[in-house]
Amino acid sequence: MTGFGEGLFNPTDAVINWARKNSLWPFFFGLSCCFVEEATAWGPRYDIARFGSEVFRGSPRQADVLIVSGTMFQKIAPVALRLYEQMSDPKWVISMGSCSNSGGMYDVYSVVQGSDQILPIDVYIPGCPPRPEAVFEGLMLLQKKIAAGEKPTRPVLHLPGGSQGGREDFLVDGATKCRDTRGPGYAGIPIRGTAATEPRFAGSRAEVMWTPPVPGLVLTAGQETLAADLAAVFGDDARLTDTVPTPGDMPTYVVAPARLPEVLAYLKEKAPTRFERLEDLTALDETARRVPAGHEATVVYTLTSMSAATMVRLTCPLPSRDSSLPTATGVWSCANWYEREAAEMFGLRFDGHPDPRRLLTHRDWIGHPLRKDYEGRATSRPAFTRADCERLEPVDAAEILGRRAAAGDYLLNFGPHHYATHGIIRYVLAMRGERVKAMGIDIGYHHRGVEKIGERQTWHQFIPYTDRVDYLSGIANNLSYVTAVEQLAGIAVPPRAAYARVMLSELFRLSNHLMYFGTFLQDLGMMSPIFYALREREMVLDIIETITGGRLHPAWLRLGGLAADLPEGWKEQVDAFVKIFPGRLKEYHAGVTRNPIVRARTKGVGGISGATAIDWGITGPNLRAAGVAWDRRKAMPYGAYADFDFDVPTREHGDCYDRYLVRMDEMAQSLRIIEQAAARMPGGRYLSDDARYCLPQKDATLRDIESLIHHFVNVTRGPRLPAGMAYAATEAPRGEQGYCVVSDGGCHAYRMRIRTPGFANVQALPLMIEGLSIADCVAVLASYDYILPDIDR
Amino acid sequence: MPPTAEFTPLLAPFSPWEPGALPLVVFGAIVLVVMAVILFLSGFLVRRRPTPSKQQPYECGIRPTGPARFRYPVPFFLMAVFFLLFDVETAYIISYAVAWPELGLPGYLRLAVFVIVLGLGLVYAWRKGGLDWDEEEGL
């Protein structure tokens, strides 16, 4: 606008902008890891209230700032777009974190390479994840933008001209945006070298390197008995594998597909060693093997015997990737989701499956992502646009529940965006009044394709991805992964590293359980505990930051040890925390545990029996709350856990109250372990001297050329691991997290399978929730402690 | 403050409790004007930009299934009706208690009739099953 009125409204513009910028109302919208830091910014140490933005609104109608915190998945993109549309005007968008900015680490089929392809972004916050201070920086930049760039008086008075609100245009690939990973301006310049893509990195010198064979397996007496027994009952239809190399982690049987349910049922109910739990069920695409396997696909069943603390693996070779085999849902109901996942990811068919639909990907998704010929990189696929949002619109609630919803039930979508879902998961509830009659679960909104990424990152490069599998447990995730790889290659970990790993894992268990404590009670309606919990959690994160330099995702473990030695001053900090924390724990109990309202809300609500919990593969504190004293740290110790003295807390009923108490007790036990680890921390190397696979210690690389060469080779193209397969599980804060790493003798995994506690735990949720009222449903979800990337991966 | 020898106010203290219709009318008019201005401004200054997505009901970011008008069990409605009933009863009893010295025994008897009739109504509703609702199907 020019002419009359120019400058007339400057004073009112300034006043309106001043009012707006100092009372921004962020939308309570989190996609993944970044949201934890966004929520921490709201907590006591950082206190976002200083910026006038502490009121995170649960409804888009009451919010005017959308902070896209986390990974923009293709499945969630239509939802995010709708929520943005439903926000009140004028509105602004902050993109928080690398994933939202550009896809970040996740250049993979399921992730939109930048939220700006569908949403107009005003401010970008870099980081993975950005610290709470960075959130403030972003917020202040937005405030500056509002104050400097907007002329709201005219639009407010319905006059032509002026401006208010954030950008309104989104970016279009090729026109306003460039997805070239080298940055803009490189158009027409050919990419030098080749990307590491499946099945292997072309031209790598690692191909000519020799690696020693993997350690073999010597059967124990019990395993011999089982092998003899299976041979007697099933003959050649269930025989010990004769492939070379033989997996060294557990006995592996080759089972004829037709007899599979029979063998599984036998192992579960009649065998001399009973295998009560279906630990994992997955598949392998064998078509890209260096040495052709003779069949195109293999289905892998991993079973755990809790009575004998041992494991067994069954493999089922299939002639083609479209083959079918009988379902295992008749033996273990929890095979349901595992089979659906294997079917959509590999194209297999499971005959007799009760619900053969896609699980993680959208109904209309094309292709089977974990097949070797499927293009995994999003940057090699067409850009995601707003038109795709319409195509991938979430399916209707009635379709998810199917016949389980009776006529006259009200179908309620609980999530993917909701305070109480703790992440982007969608429950569909068939309601009669306040009562949940049937519950359907739609997962996959947080599917980051991490198993596909594992097939193109070198063994070391994959470590940062493991941090983000359970984004509240950082190093505890690293531990599961490196344990599996170390098992595969037979790498010995020096005692100092083993102790430090235990200490850090337990610190993360504490940090996770503190977050649990706060959010559980917040969902029950208590506002204060989360502030106390975040205060203590910051102390834990301070220790972790001192040692590792990171907060949520330190990526600090390495094959054979740690990234660096423990720094000066770590012990004083740990000792101070060990002294302070028991008193704080007492405070929590005094304030919460005996609170009659908490008891009334949680006692006897959402209980599950121990036997059912085992049958459904529930692990971790949720299993122990049901009275099963099974903890991998005790039952099948890994790392240095056998050296430590601690108890396994259990409870009886498996209801919400018990789940809460078990975690409170676990915090005390974790503290005992931390105290012992700190007091008895051994000296010596922090990285294994197995230079073939491990990085050399940093100081050595600065002194001798041999170490420098090893460092260079193992960092750039990565170590070449022997062919083989290994499964290792650890007791992560939320339950048992296992990595099944398959190597074809390359610098990358041939298959990276992650068995997560959340997947099995959440699958069993309808058992606990159906029949409860909707308020109790929230209590069960809050007490259950799951996390989304851990379910969807 | 009572007038004393040392201090005598020149004007009698103004009391807002003095009867008089004019202040009430002025007050009412001011209230109406303020309300009208607020309502007008909040309607005028707001920026309405309806889009199809924005007009949809918010249901966690998903398109809702089925209509919002359906047969819904009404235990909360019943609860609310009962509450209102007894709330009104309480209001009567308390105002009656304040006026006890003037009303005396006749007042007591009249109120007793009222309470008994209400009590009979409650017994009737209770016996008909008005208090045991089926929370899934309503009454």
Confidence band (pLDDT; 50, 70, 90) for A197? low
The domain spans of chain A are: 10-156, 221-368, 450-792
* A chain contacts of residue B72, beta-carbon cutoff 8 Å: 410, 433
Judge whether residue B21 has pLDDT over 90: no
Taking residues A605-626, what's their average pLDDT?
A: 90
Lowest mean pLDDT among A185-189, A552-556, A740-744, B97-101: A185-189
Judge whether residue B126 has pLDDT over 90: no
* A33 annotated to a ligand binding site: yes
So what's the pLDDT on residue A556? 92
* A389 annotated to a ligand binding site: no
Judge whether residue A718 has pLDDT over 70: yes
Q: What is the 3-state secondary structure (H, E, C) of A279-314?
A: EEEEEEECCCCCCCCCCCEEEEEEEEECCCCEEEEE
Of the ranges A268-272, A656-660, B61-65, which is most confident? A656-660
So what's the pLDDT on residue A409? 81
So what's the pLDDT on residue A779? 92
Strands (E), A483-529: none
Judge whether residue A464 has pLDDT over 90: yes
Taking residues B18-27, what's their average pLDDT?
A: 78
Q: Any idea which fold A450-792 has?
A: Cytochrome-c3 Hydrogenase; chain B (1.10.645)
- Quick check: is B9 in a domain? no
* A99 annotated to a ligand binding site: yes
CATH of domain A221-368: 3.30.460.80
**Read out DSSP for A443-458?**
--TT---HHHHTTTSB
Confidence band (pLDDT; 50, 70, 90) for A761? very high
Judge whether residue A176 has pLDDT over 90: no
- Quick check: is B137 in a domain? no
Contact A431, A404 (CB under 8 A): no
A412/A550 Cα distance (integer angstroms): 40
Grouping H, G, I as helix, E, B as strand and the rest as coil, residue A421 is: helix
So what's the pLDDT on residue A190? 77
For testing the chain B interface, which of A27, A89, A92, A151 should be mutated: the one with the most B CBs within 10 Å?
Answer: A89
- Quick check: is B15 in a domain? no
Q: What is the mean pLDDT of chain A?
A: 88
Q: Which of A85, A158, A394 sits opposite B62 (nearest CB)?
A: A394
Judge whether residue A4 has pLDDT over 60: no
State which amino acid sits at residue A464. P
Judge whether residue A489 has pLDDT over 80: yes
B70/B57 Cα distance (integer angstroms): 16
Domain of residue B99, CATH code: 1.20.58.1610
| Tally of structural domains, chain B | 1
Residue A314 CA from chain centroid, whole number: 26
Judge whether residue A498 has pLDDT over 90: yes
For residue A462, the 8-state DSSP code is T
Domain of B69 in residue numbering reads as: 21-127
Q: Is B107 on the interface with A (CB under 8 A)?
A: no
* B chain contacts of residue A397, beta-carbon cutoff 8 Å: 62, 65
Judge whether residue A67 has pLDDT over 70: yes
Judge whether residue A1 has pLDDT over 50: no
Judge whether residue B134 has pLDDT over 70: no
Q: Do A80 and B61 count as a contact with CB atoms less than 8 A apart? A: yes
Residue A401 CA from chain centroid, whole number: 26
Q: What is the pTM of this model?
A: 0.86
Q: What is the mean pLDDT of chain B?
A: 80
**Read out DSSP for A581-639?**
HHHHHHHHIIIIIT-HHHHHHHTTSS---HHHHHHTT--THHHHTTT----HHHHS--T
Domain range A10-156, CATH architecture: 3-Layer(aba) Sandwich (3.40)
So what's the pLDDT on residue A281? 92
For testing the chain A interface, which of B60, B63, B74, B77 should be mutated: the one with the most A CBs within 10 Å?
Answer: B60
Lowest mean pLDDT among A3-7, A234-238, A789-793: A3-7
- Quick check: is B106 in a domain? yes
Confidence band (pLDDT; 50, 70, 90) for B14? low
So what's the pLDDT on residue B133? 66
Query: Which tens digits make up the pLDDT trace of A42-64?
Result: 888 898 888 888 788 888 988 99
